[in-house]
Structure 1
Amino acid sequence: MNYKKRVVKNNQMTNKTKNKFTTHNKNKKYEQE
């Protein structure tokens, strides 16, 4: 039970960081154009 909770937490964290990076890259693209 604890292990499952921990995995879910980690997945949420990675998703947050992933989103940060994708939005950051999108902004970079727009700046270059």
Structure 2
Amino acid sequence: MARLITDAKQEDTRVRRIAKVMDVLKNGKKWTG
């Protein structure tokens, strides 16, 4: 059960990271954090 939660959390982090990269590329912002 704990493993499912951990995997879901990693997936969520990965999705957010991709969304952030896309946002930066789209808006031409400098990379921060």
TM-score with structure 1 setting the length: 0.78
Q: Which structure 1 residue ranges, 5 or more long, are not aligned?
A: none
Q: How far apart in 1 are the matches of 2:22 and 2:6?
A: 25
Give RMSD over aligned pairs.
0.5
> Quick one: higher RCO (CA 8 Å, sep 6+), 1 or 2?
2
Out of 12, 15, 20, the position equivalent to 2:9 is 12
Structure with the higher helix share, 1 or 2? 1
Q: In percent, how many aligned pairs have the same letter?
A: 7
Larger-Rg structure: 1
Q: Which structure 2 residue ranges, 5 or more long, are not aligned?
A: 29-33
Question: Post-superposition, which runs of at least 4 consecutive aligned residues in structure 1 deviate over 3 A?
Answer: none
